[in-house]
Every structure is written in structure tokens, then in C-alpha cells.
Amino acid sequence: MGHGLIDRLAAAGRPIVAVDIRELDAGVRAKCRSAYVGDICDPGLLERLHAQYEVGEIFHLAALLSTRGEFAPETAHQVNVGGTLNLLKLAAEQARSHGQGVKFMFPSSIAAYGMPTLADKRANRLVHEDRFLHPHTMYGINKLAGEELGRYYQDHYRKLAQDRMPRPIDFRSIRFPGIISSDTVPSGGTSDYGPEMIHAVAQGEAYECFVRPDTRIPFMTMPEAIDALLRLSAAPKERLTRTVYNVAAFSPTASDFERLVRGAYPGAQVTFVPDLGRQAIVDSWPEECDDLAARRDWDWSPTYTFESAFGQYLMPKVRARYATA
């Protein structure tokens, strides 16, 4: 998401300071005023940033995703919660030093939800922001913690301090569904079967899908996700009735992915070999999210249906990508 977001922010003429754990590609780096290789868990790095820049807005995209987090839960907590806390503190210190609130954009996830059983998931198709908030994964727990910490820094930070600055942070968060990009294949997530299937088949590889064909969770395309983030960021604060919003585009089953992939690549070799652990994670995520508040408060609406996402965005771009690779 970072690369696409940098494209959009740079095109709008915004000066960007990027921080990534890996060196950015030269093309992406060229769009930034500066780019740092570093870890958000390193307080020294954040102190340097605080000393050197006047920050107006932070897009905090760094996290270990849900599958990786189950192999290293404590590390996931350190990065996902510890890193978030460090950045919230940076934002609050920035606000204090230049006397103005800092906007803090936090992508959360459908992983914040935890449907107790598959029967509950099927009986409660459309899930509102305030329901089923008992996630089954460390990643989901970390995202919920990030949402709550953001709300705390915005509304209650240093509540008892004499020299307290009211509202140092303007915190805004979106619970994203699985995201599908034509450019990158995610790693370490549990919604990865969708994008993995598309990219594998487009390269002529067989794909073994790790969830059952009837598995259904929400997805959206990467351009829509970036658009949502920018749209929420640009919304007048007085219209916002919550700090955390669902957004929704389409909710295909894994067999819907197979059907469209086969339509585009008739020789596709896709099989379903469920991994029980990863299946249980996806079964704990809702089938659909109720995005009424986002539609009402900041005019959210998706660009694509599942079919048009394939036909108009994914297939043309993925074909072009592997034709020239």
C-alpha cells in the first residue's frame, strides 16, 4: 500500500518523508523528499525524525500480518502495538512543538473482528463496526489495540497533566478487507489466497488454495483502498462520527476467484487443499462489513464489483505485468 500511496501523495504535490524496513526502489524514493531505512520500534530513528521535520500527517502502514503473527506473536505485538505507540507519541510531540494537531491515518483490518463460530459468521452476514470485537489472532488484537490507542491519544492523552494539549492528534482509521493489487503479492497474510491465485495463474503456475471453496470474506482492489484512505483523510472532521470505519466493495468466495481466474486463463490449474489453521482464521472474519457510516460521513463508495475489478483493473494490469516480465 505504501508505494501506491506515495504515488498519489507525490502527484498531489505533498512533501513525503518515507520510512521502511527495506530500501525503497529508486523510482519510489525519487518521489519522496527523504527516505529512511529503519524500524518503527527504534526510538532513536523517531527522535531523529522529530528533530528534523515538521510533520503534519502520518500514514502508519507498518505491520506483521495475521499468518506471520501466529508464528511469532510476541514479535507481532512489539511491531504492531509497540510501533504504533511510538508513532502516536511522535505525533503528539510534533503537535506540541508546532502547536497544531497532527493527523494520524491508521489502516486497521477485518481481522479486528472475531466471529465465534462458522455458524455465527453465516448467521450474521453483515457486521457493524461495534460488533464481534473479540479477534482470534494476535494481528487482530494488535489492530484493535491500535484503534483504541489512537482514540486515547486523540481524546484523552495525558488526561491529568497540567500542561496537557487538548486533541494533539486527529486519529482516523479504516478496517480494510483483504486487498488485491495487480503489482504486488502480499506475504504473511491470511487473505493472501485471493491475490496469490491470480498472480500464480497469470505466471502459468499451478495454485493450491489453502482455504475451502465456499470461504467468503470481503476484498477490495489496492487503488480503492488507497482512495479510501485519502478520502477519509480529506474529510472535514466535523462530519466524522467515529474514529474507525468499515469500508466494503465485494465479498467473493474462494471458488468465485477460481471461476474468474479460469475465465481469464482457461488452462488454470487451481486445487483446494485447506490448511485447517489458516482456514479457522478466515472463518473468524466476517463475510461482509456494514459500511453505512463511511458512506454517510465521508462519501465512501467502491469503484468496482468483483467482476469489474477483474475485467477492468486486475486482468489488464496483471497480463501486461507478466507479458513484459
User: So which residues are the catalytic ones?
Assistant: 139
Q: How far is the CB of 140 from ligand SER (least distance, A)?
A: 8
H or E element that contains 172: strand 169-176
Per CB under 6 A, does 79 bind ligand SER?
Answer: no
How many residues touch ligand SER (CB under 6 A)? 10
Stretch that binds ligand SER, among 5-13, 24-32, 119-127, 183-191 (CB under 6 A): 183-191
Per CB under 6 A, does 168 bind ligand SER?
Answer: no
Per CB under 6 A, does 111 bind ligand SER?
Answer: yes
Q: How far is the CB of 190 from ligand SER (least distance, A)?
A: 4
Per CB under 6 A, does 154 bind ligand SER?
Answer: no
- In the bound state with ligand SER, the residue whose beta carbon lies nearer, of 50 and 212, is 212
For 141-171, the three-class secondary structure string (H helix, E strand, C coil) is HHHHHHHHHHHHHHHCCCCCCCCCCCCCEEE
| Of the candidate residues 84, 109, 243, 246, the single one contacting ligand SER (CB under 6 A) | 109
Site residues (CB under 6 A) for ligand SER, limited to 38-67: 65-66
Report the alpha-carbon distance of residue 31 to residue 302 in Å, rounded. Answer: 27
Q: Which long-range contacts (CB under 8 A, 24 or more apart) does 89-95 make?
A: 89/46, 90/46, 90/49, 90/50, 90/55, 90/58, 91/55, 91/58, 91/153, 91/168, 91/169, 92/153, 92/157, 92/165, 92/168, 92/169, 93/50, 94/50, 94/54, 94/55, 95/165, 95/168, 95/169
Per CB under 6 A, does 286 bind ligand SER?
Answer: no
Stretch that binds ligand SER, among 16-24, 188-196, 225-233, 235-243 (CB under 6 A): 188-196
Bridge partner list, 58:
104
Residues that bind ligand SER (CB under 6 A): 65-66, 109, 111, 139, 176, 178, 189-191
